[in-house]
Amino acid sequence: MDAVTIQVLRNKIASLVEEMHYHFYRSGYSTIIRESRDFSCVILDRDGRLIVAPPMFFHAPVYRHLVARILALYGAPSLLSAASQRLSHAAPPLLPLPAQRGEGRGEGLFPQAQTRGEVPSPGLSPQAGRGEGAMGGGIREGDVFVSNHPYEGGLPHVSDMAFVAPVFADGALVAFAGSIAHKADVGGTVAGSTSANATEMYQEGLLIPPIKIWDAGRPLPDIERLILGNSRQPALVRGDMQAQIAVTQMGAARVKALCERFGPNTLCEAFGAILRGAADELRDAIARLPQGHASAEGRLDSDGVAVDRPIKLAVTVTIADGIATFDFSASDPQAAGPVNLRPSMVEACVFYCLIGCLGPKLAFNDGMRDVAGIVLAPRTVTNAEPPAAVSNYQMVNLKLVDVILEALSQLHPVRAVANAGSSSALGIAWRQGRPGQSTMQYEIIGSAYGGGMGHNGASATATHLSNLHITPIEILESEYPCRIARFDLVPDSGGAGQWRGGLSMRREYELLADATVIRRFDKARFPPQGLAGGRPGGPSRFVVRLGTADEVAAPASGRYEMKAGERFLVQTAGGGGYGDPLARDRAALARDMTEGYVASDGARKDYGAD
């Protein structure tokens, strides 16, 4: 196929993904969608392989797991001609069926990857889904599938709900459209579902394995009723679900229109070429790295249950024969609390770091799986088994990114970057909301990047893996009974260095009604580390009942019952510094002091200023 046609179709898909994102953002009911933008929309090939990555990068590897399970359960429909299949970028199933999994080192997530003793997803027999029409009449035009299951569907956590719609042309399956979005409440033991100290996935909400919610163009209202019947916020969840289904169906319709315009064989051939191109580009970039090994490790503050015990994350990166292999076997055993990861999240961290380290212009798609390997040991925090809880996956993702980037910096120091301040979440379940508004306030709060070779870290932003937005004060105060008394940056909180880390941000909340406050955060005990002589960033803080005799700084993620009139403080971690602080450019330090990023005392203590 000629390069022009390939590029035209790639840009058509990229534009469609942007269109899906825009319509979902404009149609969402909850602040999670219309303010934080905690969602992704994608187009996949007929095997579920991602063609163009969404802005929410850590969702990107999930879809392949989910579609592989759908195909296993419901059977693969007829495909296009043999010639078209040969031109497609062939790849083995991402999730082997249980009969293919051994107890030693065996088939892995990628052709070069290995997992040790990975267990089958619960409830699946070795032959489940083999053959067309294995369940529910098979996969048909007009179907829409739904799942939020971390183990059967590969979803990040139970609150993230995915919808997938197949695309047919000339009676054959050619593609899928998909979306994933956080839901305001899917049941579980706490309001908002995302628990700070759950000990099993059943406490985190209703679990939905991959099932149909639309069948051959006909909605199945009983499925929606079942989901909404388990939610404390059914109106919000219904609105977001229906918007998400609509945008997924729109994506499928647009791809079908592309098939009518260009021909389904041409579209599938272009998909194959796009996947091969991404693999080739990453292979070329890896080939420029020195052969060898590099290791790094880091620690989470705790799992939220055993609050005095840190959790170790470790990786060894090996560059050999044009393949980058990432071995996470030395990470701690799976945790009692909700800080466990599924392989899809580890994949997201690996590919994000590879692209960030080797070349930010590399465009991720599932073709890259052919040139990266992942080794996971069973029953570890990076490869947990059910029913391990997973609510707090994102703070684990972001610490794992720190660890991987630290290892890669030993192989490619020109792209080295110090630890970032992570991401955190705040949930407030109000006893009484404002009239006509939801009683569930949910915010995702960013932090700061670490400094890197030649640049300072950015402040007050989502770090790594996602492009989430902090909810504006005006929205919070108009929709919920709270008042924001303070929202600013913290001087001297960025790690000192030749290139300093980004600054912590803080918000002070005053409650105007009684509420349950759930705070999930990390990097209070182990603040973001600097690199190459740079100093750590400031630690994160969460202080409840601010300014009273009962004021306390929370040691870890937790749940707190608070009364109207009480206040609390959220302060994120600052980014680590890079390089010797004494080598910082004096003009840059002067600008930092003028802008209030560095105070006079900090300049003297950290930078040796007169």
What's the domain count of the chain? 2
Higher per-residue pLDDT: 104 or 407: 407
Please report whether residue 158 resides in a domain.
Answer: yes
Range of the domain at 211: 3-86+134-190+203-276
- Cα atoms found within 13 Å of the Cα of residue 555, Cβ hemisphere only: 9
Backbone angles phi, psi at 499, to 5 degrees: -125, 115
Residues 6+ apart with CB under 8 A from 93: 68, 72
Please report whether residue 100 resides in a domain.
Answer: no
Please report whether residue 294 resides in a domain.
Answer: no
Closest-CA residue to 264 (of 338, 159, 398, 171): 171
Query: Per DSSP, what are the bridge partners of residue 147?
Result: 162
**Are the CB atoms for 312 and 121 separated by under 8 Å?**
no
Domain co-membership, 35 together with 183: yes
Backbone angles phi, psi at 456, to 5 degrees: -80, 160
Of 248, 276, 304, the last residue of a domain is: 276
By percentage, how much of the chain surpasses pLDDT 70?
91
Q: With 80 as the cut, is the pLDDT of residue 113 above it? A: no
Helix (H, G, I), strand (E, B) or coil at 483: strand
**Are the CB atoms for 376 and 331 separated by under 8 Å?**
no
Please report whether residue 99 resides in a domain.
Answer: no
Query: How many Cβ atoms from other residues are within 10 Å of residue 585's Cβ?
Result: 10
Domain co-membership, 598 together with 450: yes
Please report whether residue 299 resides in a domain.
Answer: no
Q: With 70 as the cut, is the pLDDT of residue 372 above it? A: yes
Residues 6+ apart with CB under 8 A from 386: 121, 122, 151, 201
Of 223, 250, 276, the last residue of a domain is: 276
Which pLDDT band, with edges at 50, 70 and 90, does 432 fall under? very high
Please report whether residue 389 resides in a domain.
Answer: no
Per-residue pLDDT reduced to its tens digit, 34-61: 999 999 999 999 999 999 999 999 999 9
Q: With 80 as the cut, is the pLDDT of residue 265 above it? A: yes
Distance CA 21, CA 42 (A): 9
Please report whether residue 29 resides in a domain.
Answer: yes
Please report whether residue 397 resides in a domain.
Answer: no
Residue tagged 């924001």 (tokens): 484
Closest-CA residue to 528 (of 497, 569, 506, 489): 497
Of 250, 276, 302, the last residue of a domain is: 276
Higher per-residue pLDDT: 137 or 265: 265
Which pLDDT band, with edges at 50, 70 and 90, does 483 fall under? very high
Crossing angle of helices 343-358 and 393-411, in 10° steps, is 40
What's the confidence (pLDDT) of residue 134? 59
Tell me what percent of the chain is helix, strand and coil, each rounded to the nearest 5: 30, 20, 45
Distance CA 572, CA 463 (A): 12
**Are the CB atoms for 46 and 79 separated by under 8 Å?**
yes
Tokens of 161: 């709900």
Distance CA 87, CA 107 (A): 25
**Are the CB atoms for 584 and 500 separated by under 8 Å?**
yes
Per-residue pLDDT reduced to its tens digit, 54-79: 999 999 999 999 999 999 999 888 65
Query: Per DSSP, what are the bridge partners of residue 483?
Result: 510
The per-residue pLDDT of the chain, averaged, comes to 90
Distance CA 33, CA 524 (A): 28
